[in-house]
């Protein structure tokens, strides 16, 4: 887990309560894998609808993003299939999406073209990068309740 520094930032308002700089006091690292569950983001998932389904509160999405070190939900969250296809076409052009992005030897290592036994297309490459963003952790309901309780107690 990275340590973020929050300098003089705008205060966060949470249910009519102004929260100060509380991030430094939260002990997120103390939650182990029993309380943080592995989750694979599906095509239709957003941080908001995950939090709504799990905790009945979409406004908790910032906690999900924070726990997964996602600072930019537009670029750090995986694209859905249609968005990814459009991104690849915009980036490479429709005529180049099936062209080689890089070559692999028989052990799967990236090599130059002359040594390559196979290749990864531009679309396959971008799909691999996008799929790498699909694995996140989510707090159990009990941990989320405890986390929210610690937020409320921090600013009393």
- Give the tens place of pLDDT for each residue, 131-140: 999 999 999 9
Residue whose tokens read 């998932």: 45
DSSP summary character for residue 21? S
The structure tokens listed for 97 are: 């999406």
The structure tokens listed for 76 are: 């750090």
Beta partners for 19? 12
Q: Give residue 58's pLDDT band: very low, low, confident or very high (50, 70, 90).
A: very high
Residue 116 and residue 9 in contact, taking contact as beta carbons nearer than 8 Å: no
- Specify the range with the lowest mean pLDDT, choosing from 40-44, 68-72, 152-156: 152-156
In 3D space, the residue among 154, 132, 136, 153 whose CA is nearest the CA of residue 54 turns out to be 136
Q: Give residue 5's pLDDT band: very low, low, confident or very high (50, 70, 90).
A: very low
N residues, the chain: 156
- Give the tens place of pLDDT for each residue, 63-110: 889 889 898 888 899 999 999 999 999 999 999 999 999 999 999 999
């Amino acid at each position: 887990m990275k340590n973020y520094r929050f300098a003089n930032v705008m205060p966060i308002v949470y249910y009519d309560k102004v929260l100060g700089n509380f991030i430094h006091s939260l002990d997120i690292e103390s939650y182990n894998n029993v309380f943080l569950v592995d989750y694979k983001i599906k095509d239709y998932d957003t941080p908001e609808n995950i939090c709504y389904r799990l905790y009945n509160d979409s406004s908790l999405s910032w906690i999900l993003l924070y726990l997964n070190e996602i600072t930019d939900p537009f670029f750090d969250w995986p694209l859905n299939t249609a968005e990814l296809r459009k991104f690849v076409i915009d980036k490479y052009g429709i005529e180049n999406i099936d062209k080689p992005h890089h070559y692999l030897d028989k052990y799967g290592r990236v090599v130059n073209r002359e040594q390559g036994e196979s290749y990864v297309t531009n679309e396959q490459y971008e799909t691999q990068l996008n799929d790498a963003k699909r694995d996140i952790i989510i707090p159990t309901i009990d941990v989320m309740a405890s986390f929210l309780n610690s937020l409320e107690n921090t600013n009393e």
